[in-house]
Amino acid sequence: MALKMVKGSIDRMFDKNLQDLVRGIRNHKEDEVSDRRIKQELKQDNIAVKANAVCKLTYLQMLGYDISWAAFNIIEVMSASKFTFKRIGYLAASQCFHEGTDVIMLTTNQIRKDLSSPNQYDTGVALTGLSCFVTPDLARDLANDIMTLMSHTKPYIRKKAVLIMYKVFLKYPESLRPAFPRLKEKLEDPDPGVQSAAVNVICELARRNPKNYLSLAPLFFKLMTSSTNNWVLIKIIKLFGALTPLEPRLGKKLIEPLTNLIHRYGGRCCFFHSRLVKCLLGGSLSLFPDARCLCVQKLRILIEDSDQNLKYLGLLAMSKILKTHPKSVQSHKDLILQCLDDKDESIRLRALDLLYGMVSKKNLMEIVKKLMIHVDKAEGTTYRDELLTKIIDICSQSNYQYITNFEWYISILVELTRLEGTRHGHLIAAQMLDVAIRVKAIRKFAVSQMAMLLDNAHLIASNTQRNGICEVLYAAAWICGEFSEHLEEANQTLEAMLRPKVTTLPGHIQAVYVQNMVKLYASILQQKEQAGEKEAAQEITQLMIERLPQFVQSADLEVQERASCILQLIKYIQKLQVKEVPVAEEVIALFAGELNPVAPKAQKKVPVPEGLDLDAWINEPPSDSESEDEKPKTIFHDEEQRHSKPRHPEMDEEELARRREARKQEQANNPFYIKSSPSPQKRYQDTPGVEHIPVVQIDLSVPLKVPGMPMSDQYVKLEEERRHKQKLEKDKKKKKQKKEKRGKHHRHNSLHTESEEDIAPAHHVDIITEEMPENALPSDEDDKDPNDPYKALDIDLDKPLADSEKLPVQRHRNAEALKTPDSEAPPVEKKTLMVHIFCCVLCLLVRSQSYNGDFCLLSEFRRKTWISGNLQNDSQVTVSVIFENKSTSFLKSMELNVLDSLNTKMLRPEGSSVHDGIPVPFQLPPGISNEAQFVFTLQSIVMAQKLKGTLSFIVKNDEGSTHEKLDFKLHFSCASYLITTPCYSDAFAKLLESGDLHMSSIKVDGISISFQHLLAKICFHHHFSVVERVDSCASMYSRSIQGHHVCLLVKKGENSVSIDGKCSDPTLLSNLLDEMKETLSKC
Amino acid sequence: MINAILVFNNHGKPRLVRFYRHLAEEAQQQILRDTFHMVLRRDEHVCNFLECGSLFGSPDCKLIYRHYATLYFVFCVDSSESELGILDLIQVFVETLDKCFENVCELDLIFHMDKVHYILQEVVIGGMVLETNMNEIVAQAEAQSKLEKAEVSSSLERGAQCRCRAGWALGAVQEDSMLQAVGPGVNGAIPACVSPGRGHRVGAPH
């Protein structure tokens, strides 16, 4: 009794369960959380205690503790026999296992065991766990098991298995094609849950690569009209949304069922409206202007709804329509601007997104003005940053297409610099640079604004550490320096740049400051020299010499280097100045020439000139070891080359990568490389020779230099006035024209064709497109993200399955033992080596010999066998033989031996001779049957094979035991090498067109069975599949295990059948046709 | 695909964390905090969708959430999920919890995190929706708890002191003692969520 009590208390010590743990944590008992207690529990042999500990760990994981150290214990709990513990283990595993967990490979067999467990919940729990931590290895090893589960008897397992297949596809894309037919089957599963799971998976797949799933459209169409499950309906409609752009006819078909759906779900119609709209997207919409208007109208109702969720969805759907049909949305501008005032940030962001697509030349200024008001009002930096980027996006889209007045744009940018704490300073800076460089007419104005920014730098850079906005100073300094000829008060700007405060700016900005100071200095010097003010010139040099040392002391290396370089230069200039030598010309020559914007992809697009091999060495590289160098080269020259060759490409690549990286770095730091909008469009051609002609007559009433910080509003007003004036002028002109026209009918017919809607830009702006190399290749490949995890799923599902595309199956042990040494590959390669093919009928003809009349082997049987083809060697065929003991005696020590032919050999264990038989791994009591497998290697499969064999065994009965023998023949027909492979008609046609196939034909008379029946016979006996059937004519396809294509054209006459065959091997074809003739003649 | 399912209370304390994409624990906690702050900022009568931008590293990510009494249920999904569909799913999930726990409240989630996980596993696996029919979910969850009960009782019969888990089997017995044990917390944050009696009913939407 006492002993029991002691034991009980010890038990209790380890018995704290999850609830106790939670309670402890809530009472702030550190003790409960300590790993020590749990670690102690994990060490116990009792699985219940261990499970308890793992359960607690799962809770701790939620709180942010890393529990990966317990991975092995988790696996232990997973392999418990009880469901209760197993479930705990799998839950913990699903929370903390991932691809990097090294013990995960230990789980493969456990999971496989659980998957095939008779208890559906064991299987279910394993599937659930697997869905969270499936790795490429697990996916490969278990794909076949999961696929089998897809046709499990319990729908509960089926639906889980179907869903997990998607995870398997992601990790092991090769499995998609073999598994797809079964997935398709599941779309028509009797259980709605399984159906929904299959729809779910196909929708996920189709999102990445819709065109592969176009052929499923009719099936989904049927589902949509029949299904009552909302979830399935939503998914199908989403899927159609992805498919309609590819197949415009679909949209037309969809309208009716969708309208029905809307009526059916009267109360929830709003919900379906938004779906409807999304789904009708694409080409179909343009066919049905009515539907489109209807959609947009319905959406308007949604957006005006008081329910915020519907409002949001309405806006979301509208942005989808906007992409294809901007016009139909533009009329709702008022509504969308109204949404900008909504208190809900999600809705405001959506509205912003819509605005992007809605701007035109006419409304750009108005919209941006509204947005600027919001920027001022906005609370919270995220939304304000979003607004800022949107403003810049809107203005710069399609190469500044909608901007008519760049002065206005520059002033907007300058206004935006007043935002505090934004992260997007670099964005504004990039815009300033881009505009100043590419719009020549605006440079003067831009420079004046930038000079002002530099002057007020203290306002911008007040808090440099956290403030991203100081980036604009980078742009300002560069613009002022580069275009210093436009500066009116260069002296003042130079002084602003030399202020001590500048040294608090980030290094890269200071570097630009230093560099551009010199540019400024050079232009000032030139001015002064030309004016003959020698003293002023010397004064400015002195100023530089006085102030530059503060940059020489900079901690930033770049700044330091540039500053000291320049300081020396200026000191030298000073010396020359003292000697009264004119220096300005030479200094300015340092910065002569224009810098052109280069498109970001320009370098990549330079085509490689013909005959240039970039990988070839220009000079042979010096050999690696010195000792080799010392040797007389003439003797070892050849050998040396051979040795060092293989190493070259590697070094080459490494070097190239390094240089590329360095170049990228350089470009990134180089202000002369300007990133620009992604689609350079030549809108205004840069006409050579007239660059500097001021194209526009700038109205004198426009004050180009605005005192203080510029206000964009002024420009809005001015622009309005200008437009008005323009309009008036145009009207006047038109009237004049009309008058003229009355007089002279033939003139001015094409001069003013533009509509009044078109607003001429204020400046005849000269937007320079970025430079691209001549004969640049228009390639857009680089737009694709190479890291997209879903790219691997872009697989053509219509191609017929190749024999290599089978899911790996766990092989039986004795079959593996039979492998010859040369077919045994290292384990890593094994997965690619061994491929398994199901579905081939071999007929094993066993000559029945009734020995003493007591027993016989099965006289003649046909059964399905596994044939495993080995791609790298010749094909291997596995023959399954069923042995049935029909006698009353006990059979043991069975050995099967076959007389090998040149072509076909039985695989025997290592070290045994051709005369040794292979032992059958079981004994047969009376009346029992069992199956054994034997592997054969085949050289050629073009001819049928017959092998003689003997089965020897010992018969044991009461009287004693005797040794007996039984002879048989093994018949490999040509048809048995074929694998039923589905083939689509287009692939079939392509195959026939290719012209590498040999042709042969036969004709069989006296056939009375129906055509349908006939085709079925060919399919069954010869493993063909019907590609297409028209009346009494059908095309069929099959494929041999060695990859020969076999195509048949079967025609039925009144009493005869003719078969035309095409095959890549003529012998195989003729043999096949002979066999076929035999089959048919039996009909 | 659903990227993550998070349940936390009004103070950001996690009650259920389920990621369908592996992330390190610190990253998970960071996302939890960010999500909590984002959701907390929002008014009562705004929409249930939130574009979370760079939370998961890809722009294609949305938070869909519902607020019940003291708990936020947040699903992070990508664009292949229907917003209203997921909103429905949250409701289904919460109603299922309500059925399984009989008037579910935050305390149930606190003390039976494993059980909540098992129920969730019948609704969503691997980020994909498995079942939306509540009766089916409840039936499967109960069948499994029965199986567990049978195992526990059989092992008790065998005399083994298997108090390993309260979970489904012993949960009901311990409920009262648990409430006493929780008592008034030391930290002000916790008692706020433990309302008098059995706490707020979570089942009905706010």
Lowest mean pLDDT among A32-36, A616-620, B87-91, B127-131: A32-36
Contact between A364 and A402 under an 8 Å Cβ cutoff? The reply is yes
pLDDT the model gives residue B78: 87
Predicted confidence (pLDDT) per residue in A213-249, tens digit: 888 888 888 888 887 777 888 788 778 877 777 777 7
pLDDT range class, residue A791, cuts 50, 70, 90: low
Please name the residue of chain A whose CA is at the shortest distance from the CA of residue B25.
Answer: A64
Average pLDDT rounded to a whole number, residues A17-21: 75
Predicted confidence band of residue A267 (pLDDT cuts 50, 70, 90)? very low
CA distance A782 to chain B (A): 19
Tokens, residue B119: 């129920």
Band (A1024; pLDDT cuts 50, 70, 90)? confident
Region of poorest pLDDT, from A91-95, A376-380, A1012-1016, B164-168: B164-168
Residue that wins the pLDDT comparison between A982 and A691: A982
Using alpha carbons only, how large is chain B's radius of gyration in Å?
A: 18
pLDDT tier, A157 (very low <50, low <70, confident <90, very high otherwise): very high
Q: Which residue in chain B has the smallest CA separation from A272?
A: B84
Nearest to B47 among A65, A134, A309 (CB): A309
Euclidean distance between CA atoms B105 and B194, whole angstroms: 9
Collapsed DSSP state (helix, strand, coil) of residue A969: strand
Whether residue B141 contacts residue B118, with contact meaning beta carbons closer than 8 Å, is answered with yes
Nearest by CB to B49, from A66, A82, A312: name it.
A312
Task: Give residue-wise pLDDT tens across range A68-77.
Answer: 888 888 999 9
More confident residue, A452 or A859: A452
Percent over 70 (pLDDT), chain A: 70
Q: Which residue of chain B has the CA closest to A386?
A: B53
Which residues, other chains included, contact A604 with Cβ-Cβ below 8 Å and sequence gap of 6+? A782
d(CA A462, CA A470): 9
- When pLDDT is averaged across residues A134-160 and rounded to a whole number, the result is 90
Per-residue pLDDT tens for A624-636? Answer: 554 444 444 444 4
Please say if the pLDDT value at position A391 is more than 50.
yes
Cα angle A504, A510, A516 (rounded to 5 degrees) comes to 140
Tell whether pTM > 0.80.
no
By the 8 A CB rule, do A159 and A197 touch?
yes
Q: Is the model's pLDDT at A326 over the cut of 50? A: yes
Position A806 scores a pLDDT of: 66
For residue B68, is pLDDT > 60? yes
Alpha-helix runs per DSSP H in B112-183? 113-121, 134-157, 167-182
pLDDT (tens digit per residue) in B156-199:
766 444 444 433 333 333 333 333 333 333 333 333 333 333 33
8 A C-beta contact, residue A822 and residue A833: no
Q: Mean pLDDT highest for which of A153-162, A299-308, B162-171?
A: A153-162
Sheet-wide strand order for B2-9? B14-19, B2-9, B71-77, B62-68, B49-51
One-letter amino acid for residue A288 of the chain: F
A457 vs A556, more confident: A556
pLDDT for A759 equals 54
Q: CA-CA distance, A352 to A369, in Å (whole number)? A: 13
What integer pLDDT is reported at residue B116 of this predicted model? 93
Please judge whether A344 and B144 are an interchain contact, meaning their C-beta atoms are less than 8 angstroms apart. no
Task: Choose the closest CB to B29 out of A55, A64, A134.
Answer: A64
3-class secondary-structure state, position B60: coil
Q: Which segment of A481-490, A1044-1053, B50-59 scores lowest on mean pLDDT?
A: B50-59
Q: Which pLDDT belongs to residue A1047? A: 87
Cβ pair A91:B25 closer than 8 A:
no
Tell me the CB-side half-sphere exposure of residue A281, using CA atoms within 13 A.
Answer: 23
CATH architecture of A977-1081: 2-Layer Sandwich (3.30)
Q: Would the pLDDT of A1074 be above 60? A: yes
DSSP at A609:
P
Asked if residue A725 has pLDDT above 60, the reply is: yes
- pLDDT top residue among A652 and A117: A117
Pick from A713-717, A757-761, B54-58 the range whose average pLDDT is largest. B54-58
Residue A149 pLDDT more than 80?
Answer: yes
Q: pLDDT category, A937, cuts 50, 70, 90? A: confident
d(CA A936, CA A949): 13
A271 at interface of B, judged by CB pairs closer than 8 A:
yes
Which residue out of B1, B3, B18, B25 would a mutagenesis test of the A interface target, given it has the greatest number of A Cβ atoms within 10 Å?
B25
pLDDT value of residue A761: 55
Among A30-34, A301-305, A979-983, the range scoring the smallest mean pLDDT is: A30-34
Regarding predicted confidence, which is higher, A788 or A499? A499
Q: What integer pLDDT is reported at residue A731 of this predicted model?
A: 66
Inter-chain touch A87–B84, beta carbons under 8 Å: no
Q: How far is CA A599 from CA A397, A664, A677, in A?
A: 16, 14, 9
pLDDT of residue A634: 45
Q: Are strands A1033-1040 and A1025-1030 parallel, antiparallel or unpaired?
A: antiparallel
Q: What is the pLDDT of residues A163-190, one digit of tens each?
A: 999 999 999 988 888 888 888 888 888 8
Å from B202 to nearest chain A CA? 20
More confident position, A838 or B159:
B159
Look at residue A699 in the predicted model and tell me its pLDDT. Answer: 40
- Whole-number mean pLDDT of chain A? 73
Residue B150 sits at the chain A interface (C-beta within 8 Å): no
Mean pLDDT for A870-883 is 60
**Mutation for testing the B interface, residue in A18, A154, A424 having most B CBs under 10 Å:** A18
Give the model's pLDDT for residue A276. 52
> Are A1016 and A984 within 8 A, CB to CB?
no
Segment A537-557 mean pLDDT: 88
Which is higher by pLDDT, A720 or A578? A578
> What is the per-residue pLDDT for A489?
83
In this structure, of A294-298, A717-721, A770-774, B42-46, the range with the lowest mean pLDDT score is A770-774
**Position A203 pLDDT exceeds 90:** no
CB-based contact, A128 to chain B, within 8 Å = yes
Share of chain A above pLDDT 90, in %: 5
Dump pLDDT digits (tens) for A437-469: 888 888 888 888 888 888 887 777 665 555 677
Of A51, A160, A344, Cβ closest to residue B125:
A160
Q: What is the pLDDT of residue A629?
A: 45
pLDDT of residue A162: 93
Report the residue from A19, A309, A349 with minimal CB separation from B166.
Answer: A19
Per-position DSSP letters for A916-963, written without gaps between them = PPEEPSS-B-TT-EEEEEEEEEES--SS-EEEEEEEEEEEEETTEEEE
- From A562, A541, A551, A441, select the one nearest A491 (Cα to Cα): A541
Q: How far is A175 from chain B (nearest CA, A)?
A: 18
Q: Where are the beta strands (DSSP E) in A555-652?
A: none
ipTM of the complex: 0.81
Angstrom distance (rounded) from CA A17 to CA A58: 12
Tell me the shortest Cα–Cα distance from B198 to chain A, in angstroms: 16
d(CA B22, CA B15): 19
Residue type, A329: V
Beta bridge partners of A771: A598
- Locate the domains of chain A by residue range: 400-590, 861-972, 977-1081
Interface test with chain B among A12, A19, A315, by most B beta carbons within 10 Å: A19
- DSSP per-residue codes, A283-350: HHHHH-HHHHHHHHHHHHHHHHSS-HHHHHHHHHHHHHHHHH-HHHHHTTHHHHHHHTT-S-HHHHHH
What's chain B's average pLDDT? 76
The pLDDT assigned to B66 comes to 92
Q: Do A121 and B125 touch (CB under 8 A)?
A: no
Across the interface, which of A62, A309, A382 has its CB nearest the CB of B17? A62
Band (pLDDT 50/70/90 cuts) for residue A615 is confident
Under CATH, to which class is A861-972 assigned?
mainly beta
pLDDT surpassing 60 at residue A41: yes
3-class SS of residue B143: helix
CA atoms of A190 and A464, how far apart (whole Å): 67
For A494, the token pair is: 């130079």
**pLDDT value at position A844?**
32
CA distance B72 to B68: 6
Q: In this predicted structure, what is the pLDDT of residue A803?
A: 62
Percentage of residues of chain B with pLDDT beyond 90: 34
Per-residue pLDDT, averaged over A762-782, amounts to 54
